Amino acid sequence: MNELLTQGLAIMFIGMGTVFAFLCIMIVAMHAMSGVVAKLNKLFPEVVPQAAGVKKVVSSADDEVAVAIAAAIFKRGK
Amino acid sequence: MNELLTQGLAIMFIGMGTVFAFLCIMIVAMHAMSGVVAKLNKLFPEVVPQAAGVKKVVSSADDEVAVAIAAAIFKRGK
Amino acid sequence: MNELLTQGLAIMFIGMGTVFAFLCIMIVAMHAMSGVVAKLNKLFPEVVPQAAGVKKVVSSADDEVAVAIAAAIFKRGK
Amino acid sequence: MNIAEGLTALWNTTGLMNIILPADPNLKGFEQILHMHGQWMMILICLFLLWLGIKKQFEPLLLVPIAFGGLLSNIPMPPGEAIAGPTGFLGIIFEAGIHKGLFPLIIFMGVGAMTDFGPLIANPKTALLGGAAQFGIFGALLMAYCMFGFTMPEAASIGIIGGADGPTSIYVTTKLAENLLGPIAVAAYSYMALVPVIQPPIMKLLTTEAERKIQMTQLRDVSKREKIVFPLMILILCVILLPSACPLLGALCFGNLCKECGVVERLSDTMQNALINIVTIFLGLSVGSKLSASQFLTVQTLFILLLGIIAFSLATAGGVIMAKIMNMFSKTKINPLIGSAGVSAVPMAARVSNKVGLEANPQNFLLMHAMGPNVSGVIGSAVAAGVLLALCH
Amino acid sequence: MNIAEGLTALWNTTGLMNIILPADPNLKGFEQILHMHGQWMMILICLFLLWLGIKKQFEPLLLVPIAFGGLLSNIPMPPGEAIAGPTGFLGIIFEAGIHKGLFPLIIFMGVGAMTDFGPLIANPKTALLGGAAQFGIFGALLMAYCMFGFTMPEAASIGIIGGADGPTSIYVTTKLAENLLGPIAVAAYSYMALVPVIQPPIMKLLTTEAERKIQMTQLRDVSKREKIVFPLMILILCVILLPSACPLLGALCFGNLCKECGVVERLSDTMQNALINIVTIFLGLSVGSKLSASQFLTVQTLFILLLGIIAFSLATAGGVIMAKIMNMFSKTKINPLIGSAGVSAVPMAARVSNKVGLEANPQNFLLMHAMGPNVSGVIGSAVAAGVLLALCH
Amino acid sequence: MNIAEGLTALWNTTGLMNIILPADPNLKGFEQILHMHGQWMMILICLFLLWLGIKKQFEPLLLVPIAFGGLLSNIPMPPGEAIAGPTGFLGIIFEAGIHKGLFPLIIFMGVGAMTDFGPLIANPKTALLGGAAQFGIFGALLMAYCMFGFTMPEAASIGIIGGADGPTSIYVTTKLAENLLGPIAVAAYSYMALVPVIQPPIMKLLTTEAERKIQMTQLRDVSKREKIVFPLMILILCVILLPSACPLLGALCFGNLCKECGVVERLSDTMQNALINIVTIFLGLSVGSKLSASQFLTVQTLFILLLGIIAFSLATAGGVIMAKIMNMFSKTKINPLIGSAGVSAVPMAARVSNKVGLEANPQNFLLMHAMGPNVSGVIGSAVAAGVLLALCH
Ligand code: NA
Ligand code: NA
Ligand code: NA
């Protein structure tokens, strides 16, 4: 029983410790990231690439369809 | 040939018998079910739980999305 | 090196030859097909079967749903 | 390798060289012709099946992939690289999805998720019509076994064509007589598409004008709770009475429960769309991969096609006659035209009942009434399949 | 075979004959009863689970398929043909999808593609609440190991119920203690559905009225770039610190990256819909296939259900208390009610926080604030799972 | 196990401990560095590929999953638990989907279901342009084999990059030189994304201003029947002439037939959406799992990248020059700019033709004309792949 408890507590401390260690490092990394990204956003404002991004979202596969549709419309429009 | 016919007819009688037995029991069970459900529907009218059911159909996964959308709208509305 | 080059060139000639042979036969076959189909289209104008085709696109599975929906509407309409 | 060697190697792989196989000294006569010329003949047959699917719209969702799978599997390839062989594209899919029985069950789930058992619940006695239509299965089995020399498992697989239920046919045939899978699947789906042609003459022959004019009373409303309990009830009955039908009926009931319970619409939608479509593509292609000349171009295939149409006809007659028998003992008459819907082939058979009914009496809408025998025919076929799996295995 | 023989053969396969197994001379007492009567008892239990899923709407997307899988797997079939056996429908799916670990990871991908980490990025320190809630995992593990006699891998699998994360529970249990998969999956999903019942009393007990009224400041906007970098950051941290958590966190991060990067919407949509739905159907059914009497009708199952609710309660308490501790050291107070959202159970736990908060102060909208601990709880559970997989394997 | 032991065990599994492997006494110099530092270098490379996919939008649908798969497979895990290993998540998917050849064929089905062969049928002779562009494949093969010391199967796999067709590249490489799959897939998809950068200078170099201004006559209408017959015709030709190309062309033709025949829209929609998306996710991730340091960080990879761009350039030049040759012999001139579209990379290459054409003459819409060589380039590459599979196997 005593050994079980030792082992169980060991797992518990290691486990909770790892979880908190991971999350604390994550918090630090998130603050760092936010800082870096904030600077990046100033240097290269996000708006322009974003707009392009949204436009280009249509994938090459969709493009293919789009071309086909365009072709169909083109024909019909004749 | 004769033995084949015996065997074939045996399968046929067993098969059709089982099918009808199954369906007859099913018919009885359906009548019983309808009776029980009719009583249940009187005791606990279906309308209220149904309405709730329809509302809650959105699954937890959809909820997640809903929350995200709500958040987005919330932000934008600011 | 010399043998490599011989082999490589052999593959190249065989490969490009096969590609062109295939495509040339395809071109001939396409012309033949267009001719045959053009005649077919005159003999059996495409319009009627097409329209039927479009209508019948709903598959048997969809039909099932359609029947169910029809039933539902039928009930409600009562 | 120089150019000449390369060209020779390539030439030897071409279909031109291999589409007609060299004569096998051990074979004679018709078998020799089949051995030598079977592949291109099968390609022609597959093109004909494609034409049936595309132009005649014979169950195209299945027949187009089946025929295309047949085309692919009859391409002359070097041994060990055949597309339908154990390491080929279609061979792998067949092994994983058909041989192990997954695909037909997944399709049955989707069928369950699309089926409304309401009309059956509203008028339970119509289930007997769906039972009587299973006579087609056992009549054809009897003929196949006694008159055409098939073994019992083969006869059972052929009989099940009369169930007019593609996934059930494929599931049973895979378990009992995999060698007949190609012709049986083709027969099952072709005849399902021919229901509007096969059934009306039989229906008219067996009924009088007066019978066809019988109008049926409006079906009662079925409550949500009944619809939820129904699939569970079927499953429990099946557990108690006939466990061997449980994979099929279990899949059907699961799909139907998901549809009716109203709390898992995501899953029900997926079963009715993405999942059933994906599985249909692969089921069709891999069933088609069994359309090899040695298994399809046989006199057995002709027998199967013949027995299949007999099975459909007997099933139709069984349903109609059962309706007439029931009318002898019951006060509320049923229109015997709905009996033919007991063959399943949901919902085409029900439509045929409706159409023939309208011809006799333009005010006579039988569609909803015919859905009762129609869906009970699905259950009946699955029960018959369970019996055959239990006894003929 | 004549009719009598056939009927006997068929009768011997019926469930009526096999639903109660013959007594095994080697067993005694309760074990004997279980052996003989287990199957129909499990069928009743599965019907109860279905009722919970359909009527009470306990995570129906999972509980309905799990319960139905349980029904199917308890059908008395001849040995070698059981639906959950190695050649049966559910057995094959289980082997391919669960045993090899694919299904939970694919679902985690879908969860990632549905999760918005924005509220966590806007207020990073709330991640600590998601960490503290993992106390439920380790508290329950300790009790299972020291007080209930489970082995360490079993205790770890039970503890992970407290992570309130279905796929994580299934993934870990499959690796560590597959024999407990049935009860653990049932407990995990049932308690996740019970979050609105389990949590509020604990939350109210541990907080004062004043604390519950704390209003939190509006979250800042999070830029697209931060959201794209975040999943990569998590993965890199995981690579460096805890590779054993990488399959789970990797799948989550992949899904989230696809959602946030904005250039692969086709894939992100598919992960959130067709793919996650298909996998949910098969995951549910095949997890349910582990609901066999011999593995479920044991005293261990009762212990697991008990430990599961303890785990949830400890997790809730852990999150709330952590929030109160943080308030001691920080100037900007956080409302301790959002601590309970650290258990994951996205997004139900966050809603519970919001609801209890509104009861105390009708102007107090905690939903978005609670999403931070909520999603960090998912990461925390995956980290805890990684630790357990690394140490208990 | 006490805390110290547990912490040590955990520490030993961390990536911090394993990201740099201990020196191997049998290795020297660059190989030693690769052995020790390869994993984190590959992680950086995968992050770069992600950046290319997300920020530069290089074929993101493939490059994002490939790069993420690469990240996951370079996580330092204990041996036997690597995510890309035989029992790992990605390893299992790779084995089932790529090694057996299913995924590329399923994607080709989807491509078929999205492709409109109408412009090719309307102007058949443009097929020659798609043929000439295959010169890229064989030119690069020749260089790889004679100048860079690759074996013939490797050289063939590298050459096929010039086909500008992802699934074809992956299918061929899996069969001929699986060890090069990672770099070849990366090269194939990267260069496909770079088509708008690589092609225009070559096109302008090889054409005169006058040629670029050539206006082409309106394409004729193509009837539905022609579109239905076309995929069957291609398949029959392929059966007769080159069975080894049949898996690829068969899948393409099946998809296209389903699209054009108009009676199986459910299946065609599924191939274009749910199915291709699901397979793309898993294909990308599992191809990425082959981005291991030992296979990617080699001088061969540099050669492959170099040969890939040479292949694309030769293919572009081949198409343009062929167009000029055809103009010598034909009265109705074609604009040589559409020759470059013969490389496939549907529909990007056709757009490039259109754009360069508009620069020379703002009234000159080449898009539809360029679709002819574009789709014939897909067929041409598949034929070339068939030749290589037949001769280099
Ligand atoms: Na039937
Ligand atoms: Na959690
Ligand atoms: Na190409």
What is residue C59's predicted lDDT score, i.e. its pLDDT? 40
pLDDT over threshold 50, residue A71: no
Cα–Cα distance list, D387 to D149, D242, D247, F123 (Å): 21, 7, 13, 59
Question: What would the DSSP string read from start to end of D321-355?
Answer: HHHHHHHHH-SS---GGGGGGGG--TTHHHHHHHH
Q: Does any CB of chain C come closer than 8 Å to the CB of residue D209?
A: no
Q: For residue range E201-238, what is the model confidence (pLDDT) as tens digits? A: 999 999 999 999 998 888 888 999 999 999 999 999 99
Distance of CA D357 to the CA centre of its chain: 26
CA dihedral B30, B33, B35, B39 (to 10 degrees): -160
- Which residue from B44, D240, D229, B35 is spatially nearest to E50, judged by alpha carbons? D229
Angle between helix axes F102-114 and F246-261 (nearest 10 degrees) is 40
Question: What would the DSSP string read from start to end of C21-65?
Answer: HHHHHHHHHHHHHHHHHHHHHHHS-SHHHHHHHHHHTS-HHHHHH
What is residue C1's predicted lDDT score, i.e. its pLDDT? 56
At which residue do the structure tokens 């660059």 appear?
A: F30
Q: What is the overall mean pLDDT for chain B?
A: 70
Tokens representing F380 are 């041409």
By three-state DSSP, how is residue F248 classified?
helix
pLDDT over threshold 50, residue E292: yes
Provide the pLDDT confidence category of residue C64 given band limits of 50, 70 and 90.
very low
Provide the pLDDT confidence category of residue E393 given band limits of 50, 70 and 90.
confident
Return the minimum-mean-pLDDT range out of A29-43, D194-208, E74-88, E327-341: E74-88
Contact F234, F253 (CB under 8 A): yes
Nearest-CA distance from D155 to chain E in Å? 15
Q: What mean pLDDT is predicted for residues F72-96?
A: 86
What is residue B47's predicted lDDT score, i.e. its pLDDT? 54
φ/ψ (deg, to 5) at F16: -50, -40
Nearest-CA distance from E331 to chain A in Å? 18
What is residue B71's predicted lDDT score, i.e. its pLDDT? 43
Q: What mean pLDDT is predicted for residues B44-62?
A: 46
pLDDT over threshold 60, residue B67: no
Distance CA D170, CA D154 (A): 13
By three-state DSSP, how is residue F100 classified?
coil
Q: Does any CB of chain D come closer than 8 Å to the CB of residue E16?
A: yes
Q: Does any CB of chain E come closer than 8 Å to the CB of residue D197?
A: no
Tokens representing D169 are 């046919």
Q: What is the overall mean pLDDT for chain E?
A: 91
Angle, CA E27 vertex, CA E25 and CA E28 arms, to 5°: 110
Q: What mean pLDDT is predicted for residues F139-155?
A: 94
Q: For residue range F318-355, what is the model confidence (pLDDT) as tens digits? A: 999 999 999 999 888 999 999 999 998 888 999 999 99
pLDDT over threshold 90, residue E387: yes
Provide the pLDDT confidence category of residue F247 given band limits of 50, 70 and 90.
very high
Distance CA D345, CA F154 (A): 53
What is residue E7's predicted lDDT score, i.e. its pLDDT? 86
Measured between beta carbons, the chain A residues lying within 8 angstroms of E386 are: 18
Nearest-CA distance from B7 to chain E in Å? 6
Burial of F139 (0-12, 13-18, 19+ CB in 10 A): buried
Q: For residue range E134-190, what is the model confidence (pLDDT) as tens digits? A: 999 999 999 999 999 999 999 999 999 999 999 999 999 999 999 999 999 999 998
At which residue do the structure tokens 């931060």 appear?
A: E226
pLDDT over threshold 90, residue F157: yes
Provide the pLDDT confidence category of residue B46 given band limits of 50, 70 and 90.
low
The phi-psi region of residue D146 (left if phi > 0; otherwise alpha if psi is between -120 and 50; otherwise beta) is: alpha
Q: Does any CB of chain A come closer than 8 Å to the CB of residue E77?
A: no
Distance CA F333, CA D252 (A): 62
Q: Does any CB of chain C come closer than 8 Å to the CB of residue F242?
A: yes
What residues of chain F, 103 to 132, have a C-beta less than 8 Å from chain C?
120-121, 124-125, 127-128, 130-131
Centre of ligand 2 from the C-alpha of residue E309, in Å: 14
Residue to mutate among F240, F277, F280, F387, with most D CBs inside 10 A, is F240
Distance CA B62, CA C2 (A): 66
What is residue E19's predicted lDDT score, i.e. its pLDDT? 74
Please list, residue by residue across D65-77, b when 16 or more beta carbons sit within 10 angstroms of its beta carbon and e when fewer do: bbbbbbbbbbbbb
pLDDT over threshold 80, residue F118: yes
Q: Which residue has the higher pLDDT, A67 or F120?
A: F120
Q: Does any CB of chain A come closer than 8 Å to the CB of residue F59?
A: yes
Q: Which residue has the higher pLDDT, B1 or F174?
A: F174
Instruction: With CB atoms and an 8 Å threshold, state whether E240 touches F88.
Output: no
- Which residue from E351, E353, E380, E333 is spatially nearest to E162, judged by alpha carbons? E380
Tokens representing D46 are 């597959």
Per-residue pLDDT of chain D (393 residues; tens, 9 = 90+): 678 888 888 888 777 777 777 777 887 877 788 878 888 889 999 999 999 999 988 889 999 999 999 999 888 877 777 888 888 889 999 998 999 889 999 999 999 999 999 999 999 999 999 999 999 999 999 999 999 999 999 999 999 999 999 999 999 999 999 999 999 999 999 888 889 999 999 999 999 999 999 988 888 889 999 999 999 999 999 988 888 899 999 999 999 999 999 999 999 999 999 999 999 999 999 999 988 888 888 889 999 999 999 999 999 999 999 999 999 998 889 999 999 999 988 889 999 999 999 999 888 889 999 999 999 999 999 999 999 999 887
Residues of B in CB contact (< 8 Å) with E are 6-7, 9-11, 13-14, 18, 49, 53, 56, 59-61, 63-65, 67-68, 70-71, 74-75, 78
What is residue E386's predicted lDDT score, i.e. its pLDDT? 94
Q: What is the overall mean pLDDT for chain F?
A: 91
What is residue D4's predicted lDDT score, i.e. its pLDDT? 84
What is residue E1's predicted lDDT score, i.e. its pLDDT? 64
User: Which chains form contacts with chain F, at 3 or more CB pairs under 8 Å?
Assistant: A, C, D, E
Report ipTM (2 d.p.): 0.89
At which residue do the structure tokens 């003989």 appear?
A: E36
What is residue C77's predicted lDDT score, i.e. its pLDDT? 38
What residues of chain E, 37 to 56, have a C-beta less than 8 Å from chain B?
55
Nearest-CA distance from D260 to chain E in Å? 10
pLDDT over threshold 80, residue F267: yes
pLDDT over threshold 70, residue A66: no
